[in-house]
Structure 1
Amino acid sequence: MNTTDVNECLGPYMSRVSDLRFLTGQDSEPIVLGVAWVAPLPRTYGRGIHPDTVGFRIDVHPVDATERAATRAVLKARALPQLHAWITQAVAADETWQLTPHQRYWRLVGGRLTHRDEA
């Protein structure tokens, strides 16, 4: 998966993505995609969060070279539409949701893609 795939999937919502990262190295978990909503909440002893960091952070996790083509196909066909739906719901969410950080991860195990929201 590459930047173009994400841009095409998210369309105008891409303007709400504050950070798109393609991670490298070994990953101990079967996570292939992650998204986080970075809320505009004060952190660390009353200091505010910088406005440029508020928004969606998307992480594309590394996969073995032997699995890359198959994983990309699954991500494009299933995970990216689910990512789009999650961001669409987040944009329309009420203020309480938007003032709280949220995360969702997609895992690929044995060819089966699952996702789960995490704190």
Structure 2
Amino acid sequence: MKAIQAIKVVGGALIVLASLNAYSQASDTGADMSTQPSAKQQHKAMKKADRVLARKVRGALAKAKGVSAANIIVRANASTGDVWLEGSVPEQPQVEQSTQVAQGVAGVKNVKNDLTIRPVGQ
């Protein structure tokens, strides 16, 4: 009887030790996985950086004197520094000025200006 009781106690102790070892291994691998961002997290971070750069360019255009930024759409790729200006402005000088303003924003390397001229009221 005592032998059966001893075997049960030793068997239970082995099961507990094995489960603790498995638990510690699982938590170690989880720590390694959390240090590397997933593809989804990287994509979200890149999109956020794009929005931040576009917002900076829009802010600079809005503050620039002589540029009507109301009908200008700004798209940006922060990883390459590319910025696209789309939409319309009322006069030709605003097309060149908007390009210069966008190039002056930190992080912008290239500006593609697709602005068209559309007089006010049309």
Instruction: Provide TM-score, normalisation by structure 1.
Output: 0.29
TM score, norm. by length of structure 2: 0.29
The structure with the greater share of residues assigned to helix is 2
More strand by share: 1
> RCO (CA 8 Å, sep 6+): is it higher in 1 or 2?
1
